[in-house]
Amino acid sequence: MGSPRASSQALRAIGLIHQLRNFAFGVTLLEIGHVLRHDRLVAPDLLHRLAGHGSIGRRVGALYNAAESGPGTDKAPNACDGRFNARLFPEVTKQQELKMPKVKRVYYDDSYLTKLRATVTAVEGEWIALDQTIFYPLGGGQPGDTGQVFGLDGRVHKVLDTRKSDSNDQIRHQLDTEDHGLQPGDSVDTEIDWERRYRHMRMHTCMHLLGSLIPVPVTGGSVGAEKSRLDFDLGTHEIDKDDLTKRINALVVEAHDVVFGGITEAELDERPELVRTMSVQPPRGAGDIRTVRISGVDFQPCGGTHVSNTSEIGAVRISKIENKGKRNRRVHLLLE
């Protein structure tokens, strides 16, 4: 039987390897090597022996090499090289990610842009980060965009999902394989699934119209390409699906402009009634909060993508109203 110290090190090593399965952008090999070599959390040769095979093995092997090199070596990867970044120590991850330039969210500048050339800034298995993106990430009830990434080698990769990083400073794009061959610094052409995105834009704006017709708190919601829903804390307020269908279509054909702006956190604190959705609060700590104004109809904080005029929504229908408790009602919305 091995010594207690060796067993303890083995347990630590196995724990680290398991964490590598869910590693995220942040800690560089140089920093990990420093911890392994100087703080002696786990002996590098033990990590190497426990590496196993496949992608986990390659990442652990990279940690081993980093520990051999130690801090101060010119061979250590740059802070923005995410090929083997591992989120082992959150306090370091946060510091390191702050050193990476924030992604440019081009989908806010132009929600109708369908193609964009970008540069890969980090790679994490099948996930990649870009310096700028037209892909909207999951949030606020709206799904993450899908689409395609075209490498300069001619290979085409599907984008299956788009998510924000933990710090919200980066956006991660999930490709259909880990064997994409992309590396930080590579230039790629990107293209969103426009039909799906445009339906999300139409739906999201329509949901704001629906919320304007029911003057009670919103307790939840979900945007979909085929159908969407909003949940309301209705109380004693009464609603009818045929009446709502008639009124919401009237707002659509009135062709109200949709205008985007910003509001400070202090201003929002003074106007808490603007936050209609009880289950989702606007993100704070990153400057002004984005707002969406449907001229003469609705004004609220929102980080989603929208059409520029309500006439783009087209005909809609309230398909059903579900009873979700004593006070809650779920209103389902369809594009006709």
Angle 321-220-326 from CA coordinates, rounded to 5°: 55
If one compares 281 and 207, the residue with the highest pLDDT of the two is 207
pLDDT in the model for residue 167: 81
pLDDT in the model for residue 100: 72
Instruction: Over range 133-142, report the average pLDDT.
Output: 93
pLDDT in the model for residue 90: 36
Q: Is the pLDDT of residue 286 over 60?
A: no
Q: Where are the domains of the chain?
A: 4-99, 104-192, 197-335
pLDDT in the model for residue 273: 62
Edge-first strand listing for the sheet containing 328-335? 218-222, 227-233, 328-335, 316-323
Give the pairing type, strands 132-133 and 104-105: parallel
Question: What mean pLDDT is reported for the chain?
Answer: 76
Is the distance from CB of 207 to CB of 228 less than 8 angstroms? yes
Single-letter amino acid, residue 292: V
CATH 3.30.980.10 is right for the domain spanning 197-335? yes
CATH code of 104-192, in short, is 2.40.30.130
Partners of residue 227 on adjacent β-strands: 334
The whole model's pTM is what?
Answer: 0.70
pLDDT, tens digit, for every residue of 238-274?
999 999 999 999 999 999 999 999 887 677 766 766 6
Share of the chain above pLDDT 70, in %: 65
Coil, helix or strand at residue 238:
coil
Q: Is the pLDDT of residue 287 over 90?
A: no
Same topology between domain 104-192 and domain 197-335: no
Cβ contacts of residue 103 below 8 Å, gap of 6+?
Answer: 121, 129, 130, 131, 132, 133, 169, 170, 171
pLDDT in the model for residue 109: 93
Cβ contacts of residue 83 below 8 Å, gap of 6+?
Answer: 77, 122, 123, 183, 184
How far is residue 120 from each of residues 62, 258, 313, 324, 325, measured CA to CA in Å? Answer: 20, 33, 34, 45, 47
In this predicted structure, which of 49-58, 91-100, 217-226, 270-279 has the lowest mean pLDDT?
A: 49-58
309 — pLDDT class (breaks 50, 70, 90): very high
pLDDT, tens digit, for every residue of 177-234?
999 999 999 999 999 999 999 999 999 999 999 999 998 988 889 999 999 999 999 9
pLDDT in the model for residue 113: 98
Which structure tokens are listed for 52?
């196993």
Instruction: Over range 164-175, report the average pLDDT.
Output: 91
pLDDT in the model for residue 168: 82
Distance between CA atoms of residues 211 and 227, nearest Å: 16
pLDDT in the model for residue 263: 81
Nearest to residue 193, comparing CAs of 155, 152, 171, 161?
161
